Every structure is written in structure tokens, then in C-alpha cells.
Structure 1
Amino acid sequence: MSFLNYNTPIQWNRTNAFVLRFLLIYFFIQAIPFDYKFYTDLLAISGGGQGFYILFKIANYNPQFFGLSGYQNWLIAAIIALIGALAADRFYRNTNPDFDKLYYWLRVILRYRLALVAISYGLIKLFPLQMPYPSLGNLHTNYGDFLPWKIYFHTTGIAPPFEAFLGGVEIFAGLLLLYRKTVTFGSGVLAGYYGNVFASNIAYSMGYEVYSLQLTIFAIVLFIYDAPRLYSLLVAQKYTVANTYHPWFDNREKWVRNVVRSLVAVFIIALGYTTYKNYTTAPYKYPKTVGIKDSYGYYNVSVFKFNNVEIPYSTTDMNRWQNVVFEKWATLSIKTARPIVIDEGLGDQFTDSDYERNFESAGVGGRRYFAYEADTLSKTLKLVNKNKNHKEEIFNLNYRVVNDSTIVLTGINEKKDSVYAELNRINKKYLLFEGRRKPIKL
């Protein structure tokens, strides 16, 4: 096929022309949002920091047809593209379009689409939002109680500099795509990068394997443009002429191009600003409400009563609380032996409600995570389970701070059973917090 000739222009025979038309329609459908549901979902996003998430969703548009998911949408797009290519082949058979210019526009669509994705995902890694540092409750969860994707997120999240480095790579490669002369380098980096992401998605069941494969294909299609010439120069060591094709634009086309470039630049700047603002004010995966003052820590439950009957410490009694963690934000988690139906979501949705910010509890068993409302005047707590499979679980409690290491909780659950828990803070040193360069005495 003449697409692979590296020292001669592409020969636009009928087969090559048909393939180009098919790819142009197919990738146009995947890159440009025509889905009305996409816009209704955007309008449904609410909250004080929704600007960041709206821009992020726009940058990561992924078409859905008839409520389908995964590769089924690819099939629908391919059918539409096939019908469009057949129709174009029939109606424009006797014309002679500028196929080099059409190929140029195909690459432009993929360049800007992939650049926005890479920069947006790069930003939420540069400012560690995608894989935040594990909560204290997660650190006190047994390794085997995590779903594989949560292990991957925590493994990356515990090293913010490394996560920021990964984000920097994505941003740099995305910026390279915005300049025609550096597209090959940017697409080559992203082909390997998103290929690795695709493999990780499969291995850790993270749920984005279809989207990551789509991005890998975008990058490969862009890289293929210069791949034969790179092979000729670097492997075959032959004299190779660079492709210097650049289409001629009339004044109207130049105006449109300049407007699009300006809009993309403004979009990227706005996305960068709103992402940084979200990171510094209220990272969207963790609750924004501050927890009870000086409560942060890990507590052993030394005394526990259920319906006024004291239950000794037990790892098998389903009613007995074993330990409790207060986060810096308004989340309290409890270790019990009661079975948990794990929330298999990724906890990556944007919401202004602390109850629905469930990244802590998503993909986790072994602990029960509660969002709470605290009335510091009447010393009351209302706990609501953040796991969507156990949202009926509620506690209405009174709390009493005995001293700087003891908190007493009393109240009832949703079944009107009474509970009494005496919590004793354990001053535990965490090697993750201390790091390698500090002398540690355990």
C-alpha cells in the first residue's frame, strides 16, 4: 500500500482514497462531540468547583451510542464511517479532491484531540488529583481487602513526585502535538505511554481499557505518518527526504485556523488554572468539609457496648467495633467483621456532596466509611455510610472528648440499636510519612 512509501508521495488510488475517507469520518465521530447526552451530562454537573470538571470532561469526550459501552461504540462508529465512505466514493467518483489536504485535516483532528486528552490527564497527575495520597483509613486496610485498581492507585499515589513526573511527560507530549514539526515525537511518546496505560488497565481491572486503547490508536495513526521515513533513516540508513507538505489556505481558512488555535490555547490555560485551584482548595475525590478539630488519628476501641451489653474485643463478632479512624476531613471509618458488599466504582465522579465523594470507600473491603455531620455545640455526629451498597447504614451519636487521646461515642444506629464506644488514640509512626531520610525509632 502506498501509504508506506517513505521517499515518494502517497499515491491516491481508489483504495487509498476509500481508506482515507473511512478514517476521516471514523475519527471525526470519535473526536467531535455530537452526542446530546454528553451535553446534558455537562449541564448536570454542579458544585463550586465544577469549572475544572466541565473542562476536563470536554477534553475527554468519548462517544456513546444508544446507551452502549466499550467496543460496541467503536462498531457503531465504524458502520457509520463505512456507509459515509461508500457514499463519498460513489458521489465523488468523477471529482478529484485534494486527498493530501484531507489527510492533513485528519491528522489535525487527531493532533488536537489527543493533545487535549494528554494535557488534561497530565494536569490531574501534575497536581495529584487522579491518584491522591491514600487516606489514613486506607492505610489501615488490609492489602487483600483492596480491589486491584485501588492497589495500583495507592502504589502510585504514595509517591506524588513520581505521579507529577508522569503528568509532566503527558503534558510535554501533548504540547508537542500542537506544533506540526514535533508531532512525530509527541505521538511516539504517547503511543508507548498509553500502550502501557492500556496494559495496566487490563492487569489491574481499572475500567478504562477501551478508552486507553483508543488513545493509543490515535497516537499510532499520527506516528505512522513519519514511521517509514524514520525506519529508512535510522534502521535502513538510506537517504531520506522529510515530508514538508503543507496545504495552501485561503484567507477564510486562515482565519478559522487562527480562531481554533486561540480557543485551544485559552482552553488549556483555563483547564490548568481550574485544575490547580481544585487541588489547592478542595480536591474533588476527598470531602471538602474539615473534620472535628484535633480528632485526626487511629483509635483502638477499648470498650464497646451493643444494646447496653459489653462485647469484649473480637475479630469475628459482627457488631463489635475493632478500631476507628478519623480523617482530617469529615470521614470516619470503622473496622468490623460484618461482611461488606464492595463498591466497584472508581470514585472519580465530580460532586459537591461530601456524602457522594466516595473514593475512600470505592474498591475497598474490611472497613466501613462514613461521611459525618458534626454539631460542635451540641456535640453530636450523624454518620452515613458512603458505600452505595450500604447507604441505609446510619448512626446518630453524641461524642465527648475526654482528653487529647480519648473520645467516647454513644448513640443509636438505623435499627435503633444502642452503641457505646470508648476510643483510645494510638500514636503510631507511619514509615510512608517519615520517609527514608529521617532516623526512625519504633
Structure 2
Amino acid sequence: MGTFDIQSQSSWSKSEKNLFKFFGLYFFIQILPIDLSFLKHITGTNWLALEYRDIFYLSRYAPDFLGEQSFLNWIIVAILALVGTILWDKVLPKDINYDKWYYWIRVFVRYRLALGLIGYAFLKVYTIQSPEPSLSNLNTNYGDFTAWKLFSLGLGVVPSYQSFLGLVELAGALLLLHRKTTTIGTLIILPFAGNVAISNIAYEGGEYVYAFYLISLGLYLFAFDAIRLFKLVSLEQPVDQNHFQPEFREKKQLYRLTLKGLYIIVFVVFYGYKTKAGASGGGYHFPSQAGLSQLTGVYNVKTFKLNNQEIPYSKTDSVRWQDVIFEKWNTISIKSNREVNIENLPTEEIFSKDSQRIYELAGTQGRHFYSYQKDPSSNILQLTNRNAHYQNDALTIHYQVINDSTVVLSGVDAHQDSVYAVLEKLNKKYLINEAKKVGRRSVLKL
């Protein structure tokens, strides 16, 4: 702590000291990696082949004593901070410089909050947090989506706005990296994070606890200048300058700049580069394995037979297929009136394995989604339901391309019942795609 000269010291009342002890300890514990989940992440990361998902999960850390993000964790931290406040004078000397300690706690909180914002900012900048809807999503009834999925899809159809949100978040984070612009940064961050928190509550998302965590860090930083800003702006009264300003000596200044430079190189430059590379590779929501490109599209089920018995078209029949969609990746979705036990994915997860990437089916009913593997020696597909609630749902299907618009599927399902379907490709146009072709201010015809 002897890396600076103290220009001036303020007098602290007993109540101010006690408040600092509690909140200083509280926020210090909130940013400390003290639980097993963090250690598990650190030891499970390949530091020689670091990916953006590794940095993202590092940036999203918050103390977790219960195995899930909950406000109960905050109560545990508050209890620890209260115990520390009681024991403070017994452990530490009474003549400590509170201005100095307050300064360093704010430094740690600044960089921790900046990291939390940067982790999400680049996902938005490169529009991979909320990707454009898949064909299956575009052909699913509005009422078949959960609230949080509708929110994500709504953000996905306006990628430029999503990038703008990411740039705002990134700007607020970068302002935190300089002491003199911290308050300006918090004035950007607090309404932004507040909107995220309220949106998560309104749309039943699972990130509201973490959003309020970032808000609490921002409020702690803003509190330093809040009273002075109120006096200056609202009451138009003169205010005092900061009581404590560190003056780093030459050698210590080099250490400080080196650490700050490493922080920027790793969490801004490297993470930004890796995230852009991930976006160029298709992001992390949809499977990376390519599908049957010649079949990609939406197909109406013209004829459907189960055990050689034809079932006429019906919106209410729980067995009959209504339409089939082949995605660009190895996913087939089948629309029917069969019940769907919805998979949820309310928190942001960057999965590296295709089998874990359930975004396209999460928060969705009305369709069953299957991943498939093609037999290299024949036109046989092995379909497996991607919903964890239907692990035994599998089909073995042979496909035959009759012409450019007709495909015949035949095979057996999980119950060994024979399935036969004649598919007719639909030449559908989508507003999101047509708008890209003509531009915003041109006449759009569908």
C-alpha cells in the first residue's frame, strides 16, 4: 500500500467508518472468487487454447454458495461482512487511512464491474447473443413461444440495434477503466443494467439476479460522487474536491500501467477478437454440423401414413405431421399436435458441443426437434429428439428426392411403427430476409 503519496486526508465519523467497514467488506467479498464453482472453472479451462466462452464464464462469476444464482447468496455475503465489521478493530489497527482503503476497494469494484459488462457487450456487438431466428422459429406460432424466447427472437431480428446495445455496454465498461470517468460510466451503466434486470423479470428470464449484482456494484461506485453531484447540479452549491488522490512513483507507476495493459489486452482485445472469430464461425446457439444443403427449407406434409394407414391432414391430430423443416445444420423439426414438454434456457450459456446447443428448441412448443446423422453409404438418417424430456424418441428414416420440390420419407419410429410422408417444398419468403435485400427505405413486396 506504499505506492503513493497522500495529498490530504478527510475526517471520518464513527458511523461513516462503520458503514465503510460493512459495505467495503460486502463488496470485496462479492467480487472475490471464493467458492468451488470458480475453482472448478479455473482448473477445467485449457489456458493454452483459451476460447471466448472461457473468458465469458470468468466474467460472469458471482459468489455462489447454494449451487444457483440467488439473492440468498447476497444474504450470506452480508452476514460474512457483518462478522468482519464486528471483528475489524480487533484485527486491524485503528489508525488506518480510510480514504486509502476506500480508494482501493473502488478500484477492485471498477475493474470487476467492467469485466462483467465486457463479457456480455461483445456478444451483442457481434450479434451472437440473440441470433436471427431459424427457419423453424419463423414457422412457429407466436403463442408457442415462452416470454423470454420471444424477447430473444425480437432482439435477433434487429441485429443493428443489438450491436448498438453492445457498444453502449462496452462504452460504459471502458469508462470504468479510468478513475476520472468512472462516474460518467456508472451513469450509462445503471439505466442500462436496470433495463436488463427489469426485462428479465418481465420476460421471465434467468439473468435478473446477475443484472442486479452488476447494478449493486455500479451503485457502490456512483455513491462516491452522488452527494457532490446533487449539491452541484440540483442545489447549485460548491463542492470539495476528492480528499484522496494517489500519486504513483515511477517504478510503481510502471507496475500499475503493466497490469492495466494486460487487463485490456486479455479482456478487451483478445476477448473481442475471439468473440468476432466465434461469430464468423456461426456463433454458439445453433449446431455447427452442416445439414443436407439440398433439402434445406420448409415442407408441407402432403401425405402421411402410420403403419400403412393414411391419416388425413389435421391440425388437432396428435400423430399426423403437419410440416417438416430441414435447417442448414443437422436439425429437422416436425410440427404436429403432439404435446411438447418445453426445454428452458433462460440464462446465457455458451456451449461448445452441438448436443448441448438447444437454443432453437428451448422456450418453444408445437414442434419436435431432431438432430440427425446420415449413413454415408445410403440415404438413411438416424433422428434423435434433442429435447432432454424425450431421450427415447428416435426415428430411422430413408429419404428419397423425387424432384426439386418433393421428398419422400419412410422408416420407423421409436415404437417400431412404420412412418411414411410425402413432403412438398414451400417457396416461402420472410420479411426479415426480404428487407435485407431492398434496404430500409425501399418498397418491399412479398
Q: TM-score, normalised by structure 1?
A: 0.92
Measure the CA separation in 2 of the matches of 1:288 and 1:45.
21
Secondary structure of the equivalent of 2:173?
Answer: helix
Cα distance in structure 1, aligned partners of 2:13 and 2:141? 62
Equivalenced residues, count: 433
> Which deviates the most, 150-159 or 381-390?
381-390
Q: CA deviation at 1:351?
A: 3.0
1:255-304 per-residue CA deviation (whole Å, 9 max, x = no partner) reads 65334313311222221111111111131111111110222211100011
The 3 A distance-change label for structure 1 pair 352 and 239 is closer
What residue in structure 1 maps to residue 162 of structure 2? 163
Instruction: Give secondary structure in 1 for the equivalent of 2:294.
Output: coil
Query: What SS does the aligned partner of 1:225 have?
Result: helix
CA contact (8 A) 1:285 1:347 kept: no
SS at match of 2:293: coil
Equivalent in the alignment of 2:95: 96
In the other structure, the counterpart of 1:115 is 114
Partners of 2:325 and 2:74 lie apart in 1 by 45
> Which residue does 1:401 correspond to in 2?
401
Q: Which residue of 2 is the match for residue 29 of structure 1?
A: 29
Inter-partner Cα distance in structure 1 for 2:274 and 2:196: 25
Which string of whole-angstrom CA distances, capped at 9 and with x for unpartnered residues, describes residues 115-165 of structure 1? 111112110000111111111101111111111000111111100000000
Match of 1:342 in 2: 342
The DSSP-based 3-state class of the residue aligned with 1:85 is helix
Worse-matched range after superposition: 217-226 or 187-196: 217-226
CA shift for structure 1 position 350: 3.0
Task: Summarize the Cα distance change of 1:205–1:347 in structure 2 as closer, same or farther, 3 Å threshold.
Answer: closer
For residues 332-361 of structure 1, give each alpha carbon's deviation from its aligned partner in whole angstroms, at most 9, with x where no partner exists: 111010111111223743333322210001
Contact 2:100 2:244 in 1 (8 A): no
Kept after mapping to 2: 8 A contact 1:25/1:81: yes
Q: 1:251 to 1:27 in 2, by over 3 A?
A: farther
Contact in 2 for aligned 1:347/1:359 (Cα 8 Å): no
**Secondary structure at the counterpart of residue 134 of structure 1:** coil
Q: 1:187 to 1:441 in 2, by over 3 A?
A: closer
The structural deviation recorded for 1:314 is 0.8
1:315, 1:49 → 2: CA distance? 50
Residue in structure 2 matched with residue 359 of structure 1 by the alignment = 359
Partner of 2:389: 389
Aligned residues of 2:69 and 2:209 also touching (Cα < 8 A) = no
Distance 1:287 1:69, change over 3 A: same
Aligned-pair CA distance for 1:253: 5.4
Deviation at 1:184, TM superposition (A): 0.5
Give the match for residue 282 of structure 1: 282
Asked if structure 2 preserves the Cα contact closer than 8 Å seen for 1:347 and 1:357, the reply is no
1:144 partner amino acid: G
Going from structure 1 to structure 2, the CA distance change for 1:347 and 1:317 (only over 3 Å counts) comes to: farther
Please name the residue that 2:5 is paired with.
none
Q: Given that residues 355 and 384 in structure 1 are in contact (C-alpha distance below 8 angstroms), is that contact kept between their aligned partners in structure 2?
A: no
Segment of structure 1 superposing worse, 343-352 or 108-117 = 343-352
State the secondary structure of the residue aligned to 1:397: strand
Q: Which residue of 2 aligns with 1:85?
A: 85
Moved more, 422-431 or 64-73: 64-73
Percent identity among equivalent residues?
A: 39
Give, in whole Å, the separation in 2 of the partners of 1:226 and 1:298: 57
2:246 aligned partner? 247
- 1:26-65 equivalent positions in 2, closer than 5 A: 26-41=26-41, 43-44=43-44, 51-65=51-65
Q: Mind listing any 5+ residue stretches in structure 2 that lack a counterpart? A: 1-7
Amino acid at match of 1:103: Y
Contact 1:198–1:209 at 8 Å: present in 2 too? yes
Q: Aligned partners of 1:179 and 1:59: how far apart in 2?
A: 19
**C-alpha deviation, 1:35, in angstroms:** 1.7
Aligned-pair CA distance for 1:9: 7.4
| Alignment partner, residue 237 of structure 2 | 238
* Residues 438 and 395 of structure 1: CA distance in aligned 2, closer, same or farther (over 3 Å): farther
User: Partners in 1 of 2:35 and 2:60 — Cα distance?
Assistant: 13
Q: How far off is 1:49 after superposition? A: 8.6
CA gap of 1:405–1:242, structure 2 versus 1, over 3 A, is: farther
Q: Residue 290 of structure 1: SS of its match in structure 2?
A: coil
- What RMSD in Å do the two structures reach over aligned CA positions? 2.2
Equivalent position of 2:262 in the other structure: 263
Distance in 1 of aligned mates of 2:119 and 2:37? 21
Residue ranges of structure 1 left out of the alignment (5+ in a row): 1-7
| 2:74 corresponds to | 74
**Partner Cα separation in structure 2 for residue 102 and residue 303 of structure 1:** 75
Letter in 2 for 1:100: D
Question: Is the 1:354–1:371 contact (alpha carbons within 8 Å) kept by the matching residues of 2?
Answer: no
Distance 1:176 1:283, change over 3 A: same
Displacement of 1:66:
4.1
Who is 1:3 aligned against?
Answer: none
Aligned to 2:3: none
**Distance apart, 1:32 and its partner CA:** 2.2
Report the Cα distance in structure 2 between the residues aligned to 1:134 and 1:402, rounded to whole angstroms.
29
Q: CA deviation at 1:249?
A: 4.7
Which digits, 9 at most, give the CA deviation of each residue in 1:220-276, with x for residues without a partner? 111121122222222212233442631245677546533431331122222111111
Give the TM-score normalised by structure 2: 0.92
Q: Which runs of 4+ in 1 moved over 6 A?
A: none
Partner of 1:179: 178
CA distance in 2, matches of 1:63, 1:253: 31
Query: Any idea what SS the aligned residue of 1:358 has?
Result: coil
Question: Secondary structure in 1 aligned to 2:51?
Answer: helix
Q: Which amino acid aligns with 2:64?
A: Q
Q: Deviations over 1:364-385 (max 9, x none)?
A: 1111111111235411111111
2:99·2:243 contact (CA, 8 Å) conserved in 1? no
Q: Look up the match of 2:4.
A: none
Contact 2:206-2:347 within 8 A present in 1 as well: no
